[in-house]
């Protein structure tokens, strides 16, 4: 999770000033706090996270220890595959995350017997991804969702209207679940090549191949 610092500065011959940093990582913030404390010009330090929460220095250090033990820095790839002939779908989800200073990858998919359009399959894939986050115990964190379904993602952020009633049902379902979990979504449209892992999982689901695996990976989260 990204954080920034609000520093109430107090000099010997100057009035108090409220200074605010740019967004940075929790690790960088720890070093920044150490450096600033050495100046002797601190009245108060407040750390602000991406969810808008404010923490005093001691609270932040305790919070960081807690976060490290849970899934965080989460990036989700999702894709939906649709078979027009059978009106069935396969959804694929790949979740990269950090836990205890280690990177992990979760790969999972699901076959859906009744589906009407490819766009509905994409919505179902994103909804399935959010349910996976719930199973992982993810809550009150920012999460990045990446997919190649531009229309679906544009509708989710409100840039494009959604006129189809069935798709609106999925949209509402996703937003309600995210709100329930306290997840702040960041949606990013990517190319099909960047989404090949989730696409492969969706295709495997359509072909009756169930996948659910989790392992450590050597990868920098985006």
Quick count: other Cβ atoms within 10 Å of Cβ 17?
12
Predicted confidence (pLDDT) per residue in 57-78, tens digit: 888 887 777 778 889 999 999 9
Of the listed ranges 51-60, 126-135, 206-215, the least confidently predicted one is 51-60
| CB-based contacts of 202-205 (< 8 A; 24+ apart in sequence) | 202/79, 202/80, 202/81, 202/89, 202/90, 202/91, 202/92, 202/109, 202/121, 202/125, 203/81, 203/90, 203/92, 204/90, 204/92, 204/109, 205/81, 205/89, 205/90, 205/91, 205/92, 205/109, 205/110, 205/111
Longest dimension (CA), the chain: 78
Mean per-residue pLDDT over the chain, rounded: 91
Task: Look up the CATH number of domain 72-216.
Answer: 3.30.420.10
Predicted confidence (pLDDT) per residue in 163-189, tens digit: 888 999 999 999 999 999 999 999 999
pLDDT of residue 69: 82
Domain ranges of the chain: 3-68, 72-216
Which residue's structure tokens are 């986050």? Answer: 133
> Measured between alpha carbons, how far is 144 from 190 in angstroms, rounded to an integer?
12
> Measured between alpha carbons, how far is 130 from 126 in angstroms, rounded to an integer?
6
User: Which is more confident, 23 or 76?
Assistant: 76
pTM score of the predicted model: 0.83
pLDDT of residue 120: 95
């Amino acid at each position: 999770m990204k954080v920034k610092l609000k520093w109430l500065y107090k000099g010997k011959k100057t009035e108090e000033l409220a200074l605010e940093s740019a967004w940075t990582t929790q690790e960088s913030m720890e070093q920044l706090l150490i450096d600033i404390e050495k100046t002797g010009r601190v009245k108060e330090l407040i750390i602000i996270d991406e969810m808008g929460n404010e923490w005093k220095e001691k609270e932040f250090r305790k919070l960081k220890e807690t976060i490290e033990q849970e899934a965080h820095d989460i990036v989700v790839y999702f894709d939906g595959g649709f078979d027009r002939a059978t009106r069935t779908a396969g959804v694929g989800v790949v979740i990269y995350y950090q836990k205890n200073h280690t990177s992990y990858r979760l790969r999972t998919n699901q076959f859906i017997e009744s589906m009407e359009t490819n766009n509905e399959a994409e919505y179902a894939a994103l909804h399935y991804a959010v349910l996976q986050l719930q199973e992982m115990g993810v809550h009150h964190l920012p999460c990045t969702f990446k997919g190649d379904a531009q229309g679906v993602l544009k509708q989710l952020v409100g840039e494009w209207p959604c006129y189809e009633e069935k798709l609106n049902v999925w949209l509402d379902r996703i937003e309600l679940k995210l709100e329930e979990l306290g997840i702040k979504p960041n949606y990013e449209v990517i190319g099909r090549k960047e989404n090949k892992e989730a696409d492969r999982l969706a295709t495997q689901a359509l072909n009756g191949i169930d996948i659910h695996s989790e392992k450590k990976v050597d990868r920098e989260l985006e």
